[in-house]
Structure 1
């Protein structure tokens, strides 16, 4: 299954806030009249929605998410927490969390178009796994800096997770450490995602 390219508002109305996919917010009050009063969701549907939320937020294909699940299952620690750490340390997500891009798809575009540097070298792979002490920068040309600076100007330092350090004047950021699960930018029950895939196999 490819990345979702349909209407975004429809998804956030059903799944809740997806800051990585879009900055739009659901206006809960306006939609209450059209929603049934109480729908009892099956356990399968609850797990499926958590999986869709994770996939849409990080902009992953089904195959990519399954690959991350398998890597997390083989690693030490709780599979759900390791999964979130793997996804949060992706280059496109780091750029988004630093405020260099307004959404993860926008961050992915910056990487694909070779505007982003990691430790002084161009990296054009959005799934590149960042490590502690990596320095994320921008190509030294006017076009690249203008695009990134526009996003940085609208970014609040309150939104910056503790594993990242931002240097807005230089359009740079530093990965300070591996992310703590408490700093993940998406409200999600990662155990339900792991359960979803464990029951599929």
Structure 2
């Protein structure tokens, strides 16, 4: 499964926001990387540069490569409704993200690994595809194997302080979550202006 494997702290510093989970790099150096990093923020960016940056932020946040991200945009554009919001919903309802939101992974990368290694069941069946689209009513549960349970319990301990989302019903004792509804934009609280991404792809 294709995924981003490059430097993470550098990417987070470039955009000024933690895209891969908690990072001390932004606290230590809250300016872009490179020898001109301190002065880089003073340069005025073009509209295209700003829109491209928004797309890259969203892509890195969910751990998706360019070709797959474009596929999500094209699917969102085909559906009836606000394209930008539908794009966010498609990304948010990926199985790896749902596992992360449920608290069974302390980062999206950890949740993705949990899925890829076959530790997660959807409606009683093992699903090891991180991009699997979860639908309302689907039950996501950690598998019964001791290794699966032990790994998930460790993650739950790490995410106890994380806020719960309204669109998921989570039972941490059973390591089980049910998707109650499709998340709205207000539930997702995106770190980007998705309309700029839509305009970028519409050019």
Q: Which residue of 2 aligns with 1:42?
A: 46
CA contact (8 A) 2:103 2:162 kept: no
CA contact (8 A) 2:16 2:26 kept: no
TM-score by length of 1: 0.90
Distance 2:37 2:93 in 1: 39
Structure 2 residue runs of 5 or longer lacking an equivalent are none
Deviations 1:139-190, CA, capped at 9 Å, x for gaps: 1011101111111112146521110111111111111110011111531111
Number of aligned residue pairs? 197
Change (3 A) 1:192 1:121: same
Match of 1:118 among 97, 119, 122: 122
Q: Which residue of 1 aligns with 2:163?
A: 159
CA-based RMSD of the aligned residues comes to 1.9
Aligned to 1:27, the other structure's residue is in SS state: helix
Distance 2:79 2:24 in 1: 35
Q: Which segment is superposed worse, 66-75 or 178-187? A: 178-187
Aligned to 1:169, the other structure's residue is in SS state: coil
Q: Which residue of 1 aligns with 2:151?
A: 147
Q: Which residue of 1 aligns with 2:8?
A: 8
TM-score by length of 2: 0.90
Instruction: Point out 4+ residue stretches in structure 1 off by more than 3 angstroms.
Output: 25-34
Change (3 A) 1:130 1:41: same
CA contact (8 A) 1:18 1:186 kept: no
